[in-house]
Amino acid sequence: MWVAAAYAAAHLPFLPRSLEDIDSINFALGLREFDPASHQPHPPGYPVYIALGRALLAVVWNIWPGLSRVEAEALTLGLWSVLGAAVAIVAAAHVFAAVCSGGPEGPPPRSEDGPPLRSAVGPRATVVWATALLAVSPLFWMTGLRPMSDMPGLALALCAQALALSGRTDRRRLTQAALLSGLAAGVRLQTLWLTLPLLAIALVEQRRAGLRWLLTRPSAALVLGGLVWSVPLLIVTGGIDAYASALGTQVGEARGEMFWLDPSPRRLAFGVYETFVLPWASVPLAAAVAVAACTGGLVMLARERGPLLLALTAFGPYAVLHLLVQETVTVRYALPVLPLVALLAARGLQTAGRFAPVAAAPVAAGALIVAVPGAVAYGREPHPAFRAIADAARRAAADPPAAVYAHFGLWRPLQADTGTLPLVEPRRQYEWLGPAEYWKNGGDAPIWFFADPRRTDLALIDPRSRLDVARYEWSAADRPELSGARPIGAEWYRLARPGWFAGQGWSLTPETGGLARATAMGPDHRSIEAWVRPRPGPLHLVVGGRHLGERGDPSAELELSFEGVVRDRWTLSVEDRNFLRFLDLPGGTGPGEGYARLTIASRSAPGDGRRAAVAVRQFDIQSADDMVYGFGEGWHEEEYDPPSGRRWRWTSERSVVRIKGPRGGVRLTLRGESPLRYFDAPPTVRVTAAGRVVDFFQPAADFEWSVTGPADDVDRAGGAIAIEVDRVYLPGRAEGTPDERRLGLRLYETRVNPVSP
């Protein structure tokens, strides 16, 4: 009990100051109007959790009437998480005690050789340390603050487990356990994987009570607990068919990395890492806990098989479910696995005998040292999305935008804020098309776009129109316990009428390229389109791409048209693989006020009916007195990590940036990763123009380096600036894979800017 009290006292000062994830926003919207079909909250609906939230929200409003709606909802759901964590700690102690003794009532089970297991396990010390480890584990510590259903659901499940273990010898407790199990599923449906296995064991051990009693008492109680929330849920949703449709939509939107979608050893390894390492937020801490847990598991397998079997029955089915069919990158889903790990680790630490406290105390203290800073960072400030919205609302009072667009991850916070901003509902995965339609239809007033920093589709809009941006970061964003949170930051763009924007089918980033291929919208399927703002004077453009076929596939013939007139044709073979072309349009866009239409189409070489897959991966078009540039020979394909939103591009030994524009010097800026991750000494990096070394450096850490190329050097090189590295990393040889690339620098950003007069 004292552990639970200390936990609650340590958490109350750091309760959330805003909602902080799409799911928490869905819960808050459900407090306002319960409609799972509209994801208020998302299916399966969580009706018991919403009922609990509404009851406490009324209290919060009375105590703190000055809170905004979002603040009150976040505080309400956060309070339920703290309370749920305190209850979970107490209930877990009872579960641990019952498991360690083999059952809370009557004589403990005996091993195969006959002696009682109680003395072998030493349950009291194991229970104390298991409870302490659970309470201070970083994931349990963080989840006790978040405005989510995870902790209240775990609390009810652990209470039901404790009652079910008592119900092995106490029929009244068994009926209570069954009723609570049914109710807990209305908080989180996944709790059934925690409660039903132990209920099944208790029902088997109570079989002497007779089938009639089992059906009319515990079985009926379980059904009743489920009907209490499922019947109203179906009524509100519109019936079984409507609910099934909403649930199917939720399942169909699952696009994360799950083992059942990618049954590979690699995916399983990541799942194990995300389930058993990330919840401890520290690799050394996770390693120490893992060693202790493996030791405890082996000891119990050798000496205490009954308690081990009971522990695996209580938590094993959920662990299997989690690893196979859930997005393990969303680390909070691993919360119900922690009690099993804590119990096994505590048992392993007890093998130190009288020195067990000396072994266990540093592990618990280390967990607390890791966990507390995360909670402090989490409770320090509102989520970036709501800070951005607050700033935007203040500016809109004096200078409102014509419309407000957003990525879906930011649109939900905008909905929750219930402000007066003129929101336009986004089309998921195609959010940039909202502003595109506005401009195509003649809109010329400034608009706003709230962007998820991990999304990259805004690359389909002229980068020169995306310079007016405010970026908001979350101090807790890098915490492993928050892995899978959406969004982790916010970017507020104020967009004027852009110089150009593109439609579907372009592959200017890995995200948009994957979307183009998945929907068969690339230039080898249909013409891809971009629209160019009318402006006086000549234009020039750069376009680059890649043949995606295999050796022996046909060449592709590409055609670029502007306002229906073919301006360029070229052939791309699979052997050449990449292309980069510059094109002048001396006549500009021609007369007219609307956007001019530019298209690129691709077809296979004549006489070959096979498709030649092509992706257009670079594009820019500007007035002739502005600079454009592209990545030429020696560069590897851009890569993208969706969970972090980080993009990078590898150089080879020699990678060329090609520049076109008015005469003048240029500044090349490189931001990249430390080469010492791959080499045992810093490489020498040279920037050359026409064979002349402009500058060089030797990076020994993560770096950002700028070098200025004089106008004479740029002219002499014909606009070709080379980045040369004297060492390369061979991933195929080093990692035993078929990867034949020769990798120089891993660059997160490569910028080229004209040197201002």
Residue 741 has pLDDT above 80, yes or no: yes
How far from 701 is each of 312, 681, 685, CA to CA, in Å?
A: 46, 11, 13
CB atoms within 10 A of CB 238: 14
Average pLDDT for residues 639-667, to the nearest whole number?
Answer: 92
Residue 284 pLDDT level (bands cut at 50, 70, 90):
very high
Give the position of tokens 């600036």. 721
Burial class (CB in 10 A: 0-12, 13-18, 19+), 664: middle
Is there a contact between 33 and 40 (Cβ–Cβ < 8 Å)?
A: yes
* Mean pLDDT over each residue of the chain, to the nearest integer: 92
Alpha carbon of residue 9 to chain centroid: 30
CB atoms within 10 A of CB 719: 20
Residue 110 pLDDT level (bands cut at 50, 70, 90):
very low
Q: Are residues 686 and 719 both part of a single domain? A: yes
Residue 114 has pLDDT above 50, yes or no: no
Strand order in the sheet with 404-406: 404-406, 447-451, 489-495, 469-473
CB atoms within 10 A of CB 235: 10
Residue 256 pLDDT level (bands cut at 50, 70, 90):
low
Angle at 490 between CA 279 and CA 374, to 5 degrees: 30
Q: Are residues 427 and 335 both part of a single domain? A: no
Residue 607 pLDDT level (bands cut at 50, 70, 90):
confident
Residue 1 pLDDT level (bands cut at 50, 70, 90):
confident
Q: Are residues 532 and 488 both part of a single domain? A: no
Tell me the pLDDT tens digit for each residue of 164-214. Answer: 999 999 999 999 999 999 999 999 999 999 999 999 999 999 999 999 999
* Residue 499: predicted pLDDT: 96
Q: Are residues 27 and 169 both part of a single domain? A: yes
b or e along 177-206 (b: 16 or more beta carbons within 10 Å of the residue's beta carbon)? bbbbbbbbbbbbebbbbbbbbbbebbbeeb
Residue 702 has pLDDT above 60, yes or no: yes
Average pLDDT for residues 113-125, to the nearest whole number?
Answer: 51
Tell me the pLDDT tens digit for each residue of 546-568. Answer: 999 998 899 999 999 999 999 99
Average pLDDT for residues 723-728, to the nearest whole number?
Answer: 96
Average pLDDT for residues 316-324, to the nearest whole number?
Answer: 97
Dihedral pair phi/psi, residue 327, rounded to 5°: -75, 100
272 SS3 class? helix
* Residue 119: predicted pLDDT: 35
Q: Which of 451, 468, 495 is at the close of a domain? A: 495
535, amino acid identity: R
| Best mean pLDDT range from 33-37, 70-74, 592-596 | 70-74
R_g of the chain, CA atoms, integer Å: 30
84 SS3 class? helix
Residue 340 has pLDDT above 90, yes or no: yes
Is there a contact between 669 and 753 (Cβ–Cβ < 8 Å)?
A: yes
Q: Are residues 487 and 521 both part of a single domain? A: no
Q: Are residues 189 and 222 both part of a single domain? A: yes
Q: Are residues 525 and 424 both part of a single domain? A: no
Residue 102 or residue 458, greater confidence? 458
Measured between alpha carbons, how far is 299 from 301 in angstroms, rounded to an integer? 5
The two beta strands, 596-604 and 628-631, are unpaired
* Residue 108: predicted pLDDT: 42
* Residue 184: predicted pLDDT: 97
Residue 241 has pLDDT above 70, yes or no: yes
Residue 93 has pLDDT above 90, yes or no: yes
* Residue 120: predicted pLDDT: 36
Residue 59 has pLDDT above 60, yes or no: yes
* Residue 417: predicted pLDDT: 87
Q: Are residues 518 and 436 both part of a single domain? A: no
Per the structure, the count of domains in the chain is 4
Is there a contact between 546 and 581 (Cβ–Cβ < 8 Å)?
A: no
Strand order in the sheet with 528-532: 500-502, 528-532, 596-604, 556-562, 565-572
Tell me the pLDDT tens digit for each residue of 469-525. Answer: 999 999 999 999 999 999 999 999 999 999 999 999 999 999 999 999 999 999 999
Average pLDDT for residues 441-448, to the nearest whole number?
Answer: 95
Q: Which of 495, 517, 547 is at the close of a domain? A: 495
How far from 649 is each of 348, 461, 616, 631, CA to CA, in Å?
A: 46, 20, 16, 10
* Residue 332: predicted pLDDT: 97
Strand order in the sheet with 628-631: 628-631, 654-660, 720-725, 685-689, 692-697
Q: Are residues 613 and 652 both part of a single domain? A: no
Average pLDDT for residues 654-668, to the nearest whole number?
Answer: 95
Residue 237 pLDDT level (bands cut at 50, 70, 90):
confident
115 SS3 class? coil
323 SS3 class? helix
Q: Are residues 474 and 513 both part of a single domain? A: no
How far from 559 is each of 60, 144, 550, 619, 685, CA to CA, in Å?
A: 64, 58, 22, 14, 38
* Residue 117: predicted pLDDT: 36
Task: Provide the domain limits for residue 682.
Answer: 627-757
Measured between alpha carbons, how far is 378 from 18 in angstroms, rounded to an integer? 10
Residue 608 has pLDDT above 90, yes or no: no
* Residue 239: predicted pLDDT: 85
The sign of the torsion formed by the CA atoms of 492, 495, 499, 501 equals positive
568 SS3 class? strand
Q: How many residues does the chain have?
A: 757
Q: Are residues 659 and 533 both part of a single domain? A: no
Tell me the pLDDT tens digit for each residue of 423-438. Answer: 999 999 999 999 999 9
Is there a contact between 160 and 95 (Cβ–Cβ < 8 Å)?
A: no
Is there a contact between 670 and 750 (Cβ–Cβ < 8 Å)?
A: yes
Measured between alpha carbons, how far is 256 from 261 in angstroms, rounded to an integer? 9
Measured between alpha carbons, how far is 685 from 666 in angstroms, rounded to an integer? 18
Is there a contact between 315 and 337 (Cβ–Cβ < 8 Å)?
A: yes
Is there a contact between 33 and 41 (Cβ–Cβ < 8 Å)?
A: no
Average pLDDT for residues 75-100, to the nearest whole number?
Answer: 97
Helices (H), 573-697: none
Q: Which of 333, 349, 380 is at the close of a domain? A: 380
CATH code of residue 607:
2.60.120
Q: Are residues 268 and 253 both part of a single domain? A: yes
Residue 592 has pLDDT above 80, yes or no: no
Residue 116 pLDDT level (bands cut at 50, 70, 90):
very low
Average pLDDT for residues 700-716, to the nearest whole number?
Answer: 95
* Residue 757: predicted pLDDT: 55
How is residue 681 annotated by DSSP?
S
* Residue 107: predicted pLDDT: 40
* Residue 255: predicted pLDDT: 53
